[in-house]
Structures are given as structure tokens and as C-alpha cells.
Chain A
Amino acid sequence: MVRCILKFAELLRKAGIRITPVEIQDCMKAVELTGMEKSDFKYTLRSTLIKDIRELQVFDKLFELYFCAFVKETWKVSNEITLQQRKTVGQEAKGLGKSGAGGPGQDILSVLASGNEELLDKTAQDVVEALGCLEPRDIENIREKVQEAKVKLEWYMALHEMDKKMQEEKINFSTYQEWHSRLRDLERKIEKELHSFFINNYGDKALQKIAEAQNINQNDFLQLNAAEIEQVKEKLARLGKQLSFKKSRRYRPAPRGRIDIKKVSKKALACGGVPLEMVYKRKRPERPELVILCDVSNSVSRYSFFMLQTVYAAESFFKDIHTFAFVDHLSCISHLFRRMSPEKAVLEIKSLSEVSDSGCSHFGQVFFEFYTNYFYLINDKSTVIILGDAKNNWRSSGVDYFKKMVQRSKRLYWLNPQPFKEWDKDDSIMSTYAWYCTGVYECRNLQQLEQLVNAIF
């Protein structure tokens, strides 16, 4: 049992939940007290190990997967039976679904309308079955598989159909809500079905992979689902808040700061020129001026949005923020953020038309435009941050202008949302620019973003 709990804790840690040895100790003591009955056991683990509301969902998911597999020691054998069962069940479900068919998304709607729990299960099983052969490497992209399953079920048509019915008042609002909650259930079931399929076939390894996939700190921003995006936003807001209280680095290491000569000599006058009392300079928050250039082309726009949200959450930390968006043209967007909340402003950026002619990034042109129009914004106190993948589509690099920007600014950082391995491959010319930058960082998940924010500011 002890090993079993330890292993489970390990799994949770992989999923990004912090668990200390003391908590594991508590957990073991607690299990001794409450016993091993399934739901009691689950609640015991939950209240001793999980301390954050946002982690509950991940815990529930992993608990089901881990302990259900654990209980079924002989799952290799039973697996075949379940597979067979699933086939027959699947056919039944198909039969049921088809009978109510009458248009796109109708199958799933009829399932939703029936509200039958078993039918939902069957649908989930059925659609996973229909996905065909799942290979070991598909573990990495379960999210895509869920998406695929949704498409198979004509999910979005069903959603649309629901909205339409709602508007035409064929169903009332509480039914509409009920259907929505069943849809969420179904999605969860599909995911669970996929998970258990992999675990049944590939065992422990799959479990580890699944746990890792739950870790929002290390997940690529692009792979996050809606709920996780909310979580990340929340965390970024907190990060921004922390930042805005931060004192400057410069005066911090010394325990009492620098001596304020002016004040010391003033005081010394009173005692005949002997500096009896020391006066120290206050630690004043250093407020950098920030110039941000964000690539908003399709491939990297989400990273840019997250970055902007962080920066604007920490708005008071900076003296001035100038924000620019670009694809192949540069556009100043600071005014958007002045007018509305960062979240709305970010949405607004998507509809900017002046930044893009071709839809492909052109860094050379962008640096040229910056140099001609906005160069005065940079001075020896400003920090410049460029967020882009440096994929220049084989166009001119404009590195001369870039060099001038670097020389004039205090610091210039380049954040690249592409994996490090892909830098300088194909049309990426990262190293051309990297040579001149103060720092170049890979920035594709929460952990990296957090680290680099702490490193830069």
C-alpha cells in the first residue's frame, strides 16, 4: 500500500502538483484511520494531498486511472473481454443512434435528449472505437484524438443545432443547460475512454505520459484547452502582480542600501562636520521603460497574447509601455490597452488589418519601419522585448536596423516560442539576430514564461 501511495504521489508530481513528504506522511496516517473503502480512500487522499482547488480536477482524473488500473491487477486478461464487449456495445449504440437520425448532429442530440447515462458511456466508447487503430505515439496527442472524436460525432453541428433550437424556443433554457452539461460529461468520458485504452494496452508508461500531459506549467500554450487557458491567465495575472511589487535589483543585495551623501553631510553640519549619523538611500522601485514588439501572425499569436497579458497585469511596474504588433508591417497598439482591459484589447488585435499584407512575417520590413517611425521611443533606459519565431520567410533580415535598436536601448531580449531544436531550421534566422541580443529565451509554456520574467525584470 505504501508503495502504491508513493507511486501515486510521484504521478501527481509529474502532473505538476507540488506534494511534500510531510503531506505523504499525513496521507499514510490518514489512510490507516479511514480504511480502504474506495470512495473513503479517495476523499482521504484528496484532503491530505491536494491543497488547491484548481488541482482537484487533475487529481480526480489520475485517481480514477491509477487506482482503477491498480485494482484490476489482471487487466491484461480482462482486456480482451472488454474489447469484445465494447464491440458489441458499440454496435448497439450505433443502431440506437441511427434510428433517431434526421440531420447533421442529430445522433448526438438524441443521446443528449435521452439523458441516459449508459447511452452516454456507450457513445463515448463507440466513438473511441471508431477512431480506429491507436498507436503508442498517439499518447502524446490525446487532445487531438479527442478533437477527432468530436468531429466524428458531429459535435459542433450539434452545438449549433442546440443554439438554433434554443432561439426558436423549441427547447427551454433549463433543457439547454442540461444538454450542455451532458456534452461536457461526454467530452470527459471520451477522454477517459482514450486514457484507459492506452493504459490497458501500454501500461505504466502510458500513465506517466498522461500525467505529464496534465501539467499546465509545461504544456505548450498552443495545446491548452479552454479551462486551462483560464487557469494560465489567472496565474499570469498573479505573476504580473508579483512583478509590480518588486524592488529594483540594484539596491537589494546590500542589507541597508547606499549611503545618501547629500543627507549625511547635511546632518553632519549640526555636529560640527562629524558624520555621526548615516542616512541611507531608500530602495526605490526601478521602473523600466518597456518597448514590446509582438509577432501576431497565426503561428505565434497566442504566445504574444499571453505575454501581453502578463505585461499589462504588471502595468504599474513599468514607467511606460509601448506595444507594437506586427506581421509584415508594424502598428502601435498601446492606445488599445489604454482604452480597455488587456483581455479585450488582445481580442481587438486579432482584427487589426494594417499589420499584415501577406500574412507572412517579415522581420526586416518591421525593423525598418520601427527605425524610421518610432526610433525616438528607445533611449538608454528602455528595455526592448521582441516576441517572434524569427521565421522570416526568406525575406531580408534588416539586421542593420536591428543592430541600431540594440545599440540605443539598455537591453534587448528576444523571446522565441519555437522549440529550441527548430531554431535556424528552414526559414528561421534566429542566430542572425541572437548575436546582438542581451538575451534570447525559448518561451512556450508557463514555466518558461515565469522563469524569464523573473530573470529579465
Chain B
Amino acid sequence: MRFLGVTQVFKSIENISDKLYNSNYLADRRLAISVFLAEELQKPLLVEGPAGVGKTELGKALSRAAGISLIRMQCYEGLDEAKSLYEWNYQKQLLYIQNAAGKTGDGGWEKLQQSIYTEEFLLPRPLLKALRSDEKVVLLIDELDKSDDEFESFLLEALSEYQVTIPEYGTITAVNAPLVVLTSNSRRELSDALKRRCLHLYIDYPSMERELQIVKMKVPGINEKLAEQLVKFVQSVRNLRFTGRDGLKKPPGISETIDWARSLLMLQVESLDKETVSDTLSVLLKYLEDTAQVEKRLAGLMPG
């Protein structure tokens, strides 16, 4: 399936990693390939992984890298068509009808009916905006697992054909297939039908070297030694889930690492010691139980 006037924003796999790098996102080969395929095959990209590993950031970075605009749709329970796709502007329609009242002669009703269901009275919501946009856009549908089943099935048409049907208006087909990124935290199992239509990308916690690179990239000005120490610490905190009988409720993601690095930089810390760690642990861990557990093991966790 190819669209007329399709614009290719990325040329090759290497091109994607380079451009993403330039817009401050460190992409590995796997990620670059998935994005490349998503664009070439014109399929939505479903990104899954633990919280805080840069799923949403990928969508944003893609729009920055390609230099195209980003349309973001945050999913939540109760999100429906009216809020995601379109709505008729009732007030305006009503005004129009009042204005037209009495002016039209015979057959006025038919004409009126036709003219109040036109684009002028349509309020486009994110999904429709993305489809009707003249230029290619990145459509980021964030935390899809938080929406309801009904909304998910409704998305199917939009995502597989890049078109939507509005009963009074007709079918709207995308001018330019948007680059769609769906993210999910696996809070709820997505339906097979949706998964089948997507390409899948799983982003896991990064390896030590990668995380170090990311920290250096995102927090310029941090000194080498501190960066290394703090990444090592975060890694071993994360690994608690393998060895401890009771892992953490929420292991720190990359975003927490970066936040921590930034705050340490702000506090002008030169190198990590026990005290600084326990003082700033709240940046890294979001639950009281987790903090307590890590503090108990602090001595063992400190990088040697």
C-alpha cells in the first residue's frame, strides 16, 4: 500500500541513527531498523518497555530528527472518538441555522443540511489532524494501554488504512501517511488485532555502557568519574530484581538516572559517597518501600 505524494523523511537506517543522535536521542541498531521499517512499510510502531526508558521520548525525538511536527495524543480511561477524532461544532452550526432561518426559499432545508456538515463546522482532534495534515507528521499515541478496549478497536481502522469514516461527511484518507508511534506500559494486554497491524519494538533497560553514553549526552558538563559511578549504582539498584527475593516496586528508568545526574550536578557533587546518595535517593526512587530497601543495602550497592 503506497500513498500518493508520500514523503520519505529518512533515507536509510544509518540516516535514522545519525539524525536521532543529532536530536539528542541515542538509538541502537535495533531501534533504527524498527523505525526504518515502520516508515517503509507504513505501519505503526508499537513501543513497549518498562517505565522511563524513553518510549515517549522516541516519538518526540523522531519529530525533531525529521524536522516535522508532532501530534501527541495522551490516552486515558474514557477517551472516546469525540475527543480523539472529531467533533461537530454545535454552537456554530446552531448560529448558522439561526442566521439562515427565513432567508432560504424552497428546498432550503436540504441545502442547509448539506452546508452545516462541512469542514467549516468540523473540529478536528489529534487523530484527524494527523490524517488531514498536508505534511507528514509524527503521531504519538501515548500509553495506549490506559485507554479502553473500545477505543483500541476504533483505532484499528485509522491505523491500518490511515483513513477514518465520518458518517455525515464521508471517508477521509490520509494525504501523507503519518509516522505513528504507539507506546504501552503493558498495564493491560493489547488486542491481537492491533498488535498484528503494528511493528513491535521492545526497549529494555540499557546496558551500562549505553546508559553512560546517554547520561553524558543528556547531561553535558558532568564529570567522567561521577557519571560512571552513578550509572554503576543505578545499574546495581536495577539488578536487585534478579537477586533479591523482593525486587523494587519501580526500578529506576533512564529518565530517573538523568534527573539524578542533573541534580547531582546542580549540587556540585564531585564523586559519590554514601551520604550524598542517601540524601538524593528520592530523585531516583519513587516509593518509600524502595527507598528503605535500598538504604538498607547501601553499603553493598556503592560502586567500589
Contacts and interface: CB of A to CB of B under 8 A. Distances in A.
A56 interface: yes
Contacts of B41: 26, 29-30, 33
Contacts of B200: 46-47, 50-52
Contact of B186 (A47, A50, A53, A174): A53
Given A30-B41, A43-B33, A53-B186, A173 B196 contact: no
A172 interface: yes
B242 A177 contact: yes
B20 interface: no
B243 A33 contact: no
Contacts of B40: 29-30, 33
A177 B243 contact: yes
Given A26-B43, A34-B13, A174 B236 contact: yes
A263 interface: no
Contact of B36 (A18, A34, A39): A34
Given A33-B40, A44-B37, A48-B37, A174 B199 contact: no
B174 interface: no
Contacts of B198: 51
B300 interface: yes
B242 A181 contact: yes
Interface string B16-36: 000000000000011001101
B33 A177 contact: no
A238 interface: yes
Nearest to B236: A174
B201 A177 contact: no
Given A173-B300, A173-B301, A174-B236, A47 B243 contact: no
B228 to A, nearest CB: 13
Contacts of A180: 242-243
A173 B297 contact: yes
A181 B297 CA distance: 19
Contacts of A44: 33, 37
Nearest to B196: A20
A33 B13 CA distance: 10
Q: Chain A interface mostly helix, strand, loop or mixed?
A: helix
Contacts of A18: 192
Query: Contact residue range for chain A?
Result: 20 to 34
B60 interface: no
Interface residues of B, number: 35
A18 B297 CA distance: 43
B201 A174 contact: no
Interface string B155-194: 0000000000000000000000000000000100100100
A184 interface: yes
A423 interface: no
Contact of B33 (A34, A53, A172, A174): A34
Nearest to A25: B41
Contacts of A238: 189
Contacts of A20: 196
A51 B242 contact: no
A176 B243 contact: yes
A40 interface: yes
A172 B36 contact: no
B210 interface: no
Contacts of A48: 37, 199
A154 interface: no
Contacts of A29: 40-41
B48 A53 contact: yes
A40 B43 CA distance: 19
Nearest to B190: A51
Nearest to A184: B242
A173 B199 contact: no
A40 B29 contact: yes
A47 B34 contact: yes
B13 A23 contact: no
Interface in A6-41: 18, 20, 22-23, 26, 29-30, 33-34, 39-40
B155 to A, nearest CB: 15
Given A26-B43, A174-B232, A177-B243, A43 B30 contact: yes
Interface of B: 13, 29-30, 33-34, 36-37, 40-41, 43, 46, 48-49, 186, 189, 192, 195-196, 198-202, 232, 236, 239-240, 242-243, 297, 299-301, 303-304
Given A52-B200, A181-B239, 19 more contacts: A29-B40, A30-B37, A30-B41, A33-B36, A33-B40, A34-B36, A44-B33, A46-B30, A46-B200, A47-B201, A53-B49, A56-B202, A173-B299, A173-B301, A174-B303, A177-B240, A180-B242, A180-B243, A184-B242
11 contacts: A33-B41, A40-B33, A46-B30, A47-B33, A47-B201, A48-B199, A51-B46, A52-B200, A174-B300, A177-B242, A177-B243
